[in-house]
């Protein structure tokens, strides 16, 4: 077996079971491994510490499969890991036949490089590393065997593949080809999903529990759902008894799908509005015209892609929260989120507090939010906890 030799002291993170090896930690490679090949990782003293997939084109050049150097990385290894991942979702009641969930969450399920989402009878897979790509055919066969799904659609069209020098791949890879749109049920609400062209794999399962929170708090409230995408929070709010919902997004196709979801659930045109607009500009327009709401949802895209973007991202999160606060009636609720992994909760809370101060309101946090249970956080990998949210009540 080809080997990866680490520099002195650079095995410490592996001893703590963090699965990433960066190129700056590597002293050398023994042999001539192909991209994605499994290497035996040794520390500077020659002691074996892990088995990792080799990604020569990426700064993140090694992703650990196992911290047991004696383990065999084969079909049964992956079958065991996959069964553990599926079993967790089954135990939590999330693997429902007519519903959807994340079945495999990459490093959080000790299957780095693979993301698998279930939409009823269909699976959507993303393969984002050289190691996952090398074993993809085997993994797809196992998915068919272990889930009994009708077909698997690949959405490996994400930018992270570029860092691995892997081409984008989309299309049906096993079984039947899924329809253009699929329908799933979550907490009694039915959602139309575009798994072929939508964001990520089509739907944000990581916000499941937060949609349910909005549903439970929306009764008799006028709701503004910003960066609405396909209207998930808006549909949940109406299902919870909201008097009116405005879904705002810059994407007309996304809001067209939101319209289908609204109609699917029997909501009438008088109960909601889907508005194509720049969110920042529209919020300023609403503020300047004195428009008010009782619940505002701010679920923006990732504002912080890397450490260099953190200052600019902080300003964006604070600006959007300030506008949200300015639109709320006394007693109103702000649901504000960050999906930026580099945004830590204490900093996010500070930015939200500063935004309230700028808006001239006082608020109190009534809930802290995170990603849903099918997006677990590996204890040794804090990076797998990325979604942070706050529910803030504007005090009278």
Query: Token pair 């508005």 is at which residue?
Result: 275
Asked whether the beta carbons of 115 and 102 are under 8 A apart, the reply is yes
Q: What is the CA radius of gyration of the chain?
A: 22
Angle between helices 232-239 and 208-217 (to 10 degrees): 40
226 counts as catalytic: no
CA 339 – CA 337 distance, rounded (Å):
7
Query: Token pair 């529990």 is at which residue?
Result: 209
| Residue 118 neighbours by CB under 8 Å, 6+ apart | 95, 99, 100, 101, 102, 103, 147, 149
Determine phi and psi for 295, rounding to 5 degrees. Answer: -150, 125
* CA 305 to each of CA 86, 251, 351: distance values in angstroms, whole numbers, following the listed order: 30, 21, 18
The DSSP result for 72-102, as a single string, is --SHHHHHHHHHHHHHHHHHTT---TTSEEE
Sign of the alpha-carbon torsion through 315, 316, 322, 326: positive
What three-state secondary structure class fits 228? coil
Query: Token pair 């006394």 is at which residue?
Result: 330
For the chain, the distance separating the N- and C-terminal CA atoms, rounded to the nearest angstrom, is 67
Degrees, nearest 5: CA angle 106-109-112: 35
Active-site residue identified among 61, 127, 149, 339 = 339
Active site residues: 339
């Amino acid at each position: 077996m080809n080997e990866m030799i680490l520099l002195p002291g650079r095995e410490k993170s592996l001893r703590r079971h963090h699965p990433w090896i960066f190129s700056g930690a590597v002293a050398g490679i023994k042999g001539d491994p192909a991209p994605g090949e499994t290497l035996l990782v040794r520390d500077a003293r020659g002691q074996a510490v892990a088995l990792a997939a080799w990604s020569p084109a990426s700064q993140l050049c090694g992703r650990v499969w196992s911290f047991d150097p004696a383990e065999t990385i084969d079909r049964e290894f992956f079958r065991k890991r996959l069964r553990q991942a599926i079993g967790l979702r089954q135990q939590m009641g999330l693997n429902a036949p007519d519903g959807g969930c994340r079945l495999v969450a990459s490093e959080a399920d000790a299957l780095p490089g693979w993301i698998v989402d279930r939409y009823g009878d269909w699976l959507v897979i993303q393969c984002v590393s050289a190691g996952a790509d090398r074993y993809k055919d085997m993994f797809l066969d196992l998915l068919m065997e272990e889930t009994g799904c009708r077909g698997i659609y690949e959405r490996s069209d994400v930018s992270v593949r570029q860092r691995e020098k892997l081409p984008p791949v989309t299309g049906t890879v096993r079984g039947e080809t899924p329809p253009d749109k699929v329908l799933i049920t979550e907490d009694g609400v039915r959602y139309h999903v575009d798994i072929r062209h939508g964001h990520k794999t089509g739907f944000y399962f990581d916000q499941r529990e937060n949609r349910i929170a909005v549903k439970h708090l929306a009764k008799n409230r006028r709701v503004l759902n910003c960066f609405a995408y396909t209207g998930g929070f808006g549909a949940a709010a109406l299902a919870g008894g909201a008097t009116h919902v405005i879904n705002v997004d810059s994407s007309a196709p996304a809001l067209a799908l939101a319209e289908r979801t609204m109609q699917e659930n029997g909501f009438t045109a008088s109960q909601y509005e889907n508005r194509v607009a720049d969110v920042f500009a529209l919020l300023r327009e609403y503020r300047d015209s004195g428009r008010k709401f009782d619940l505002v949802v701010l679920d923006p895209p990732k504002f912080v892609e890397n450490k260099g973007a953190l200052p600019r991202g902080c300003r964006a999160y604070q600006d959007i929260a300030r506008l949200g606060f300015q639109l709320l009636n006394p007693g109103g609720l702000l649901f504000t989120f960050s999906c930026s992994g580099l945004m830590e909760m204490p900093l996010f809370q500070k930015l939200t507090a500063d935004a309230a101060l700028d808006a001239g309101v006082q608020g109190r946090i009534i809930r802290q939010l995170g990603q849903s249970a099918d997006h677990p956080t590996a204890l040794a990998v804090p990076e797998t906890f990325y979604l942070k949210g706050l529910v803030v009540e504007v005090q009278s």
